[in-house]
Amino acid sequence: MNEVLIDEILNLMPHRYPFVLIDRVTSCVSGQSIHAIKNVSINEPYFMGHFPNKPVVPGVLIIESMAQAAGILMLASSQQPSDEQALYLLAGVDRARFKQMVLPGDQMHLHLNLDKERQGIALFSGEVKVLNEVVCSASLLLAKRG
């Protein structure tokens, strides 16, 4: 799958505003890897409280954006018609490391690899980069429901 824009992303995943944390998929190799982008705007609703005078993207939302990208990879790799697709839920996070803050105006590049999948459980390793610098790395576990 080549570049995927927001309309197709919304067709693949169940999330809606204000919880869509993926703006574009630049590459997706079915059953293997995904590179997605999240453009961070000062208009993000969480900046009103995190933190009003020093806006920083919460780490849990960086992890959630990684999980959404992983879910898109799984849904895009599925052989089922789109109206019958399953839901992939975040089931675990291991080895999460936050190396730098993500600020308004940054563009997060999410790189995830599918390491293993068995019986509806998928293990991913990934990292998030801003300006080619790693800001977060983690291993994620997603579980298929539905």
Query: Is residue 66 assigned to a domain?
Result: yes
Residue linked to tokens 């308004």: 104
Query: Into how many domains does the chain fold?
Result: 1
Question: How many CB atoms sit inside 10 A of residue 102's CB?
Answer: 23
Domain with residue 124: its CATH number is: 3.10.129.10
- The tens digit of pLDDT for each residue in 112-127 reads 999 999 999 999 999 9
State CA 32 to chain mean position distance.
Answer: 15
Query: Is residue 1 assigned to a domain?
Result: no
pLDDT value of residue 1: 67
Q: Check if the beta carbon of residue 112 is closer than 8 Å to that of residue 126.
A: yes
Integer CA distances (angstroms), 70 to 21, 56, 132, 140, in order: 12, 23, 20, 8
Which pLDDT band holds residue 79 (cuts at 50, 70, 90)?
Answer: low
Domain containing residue 92: 6-145
pLDDT value of residue 146: 74
Catalytic residue among 15, 35, 50, 111: 50
User: Catalytic residue at 109?
Assistant: no
pLDDT value of residue 83: 45
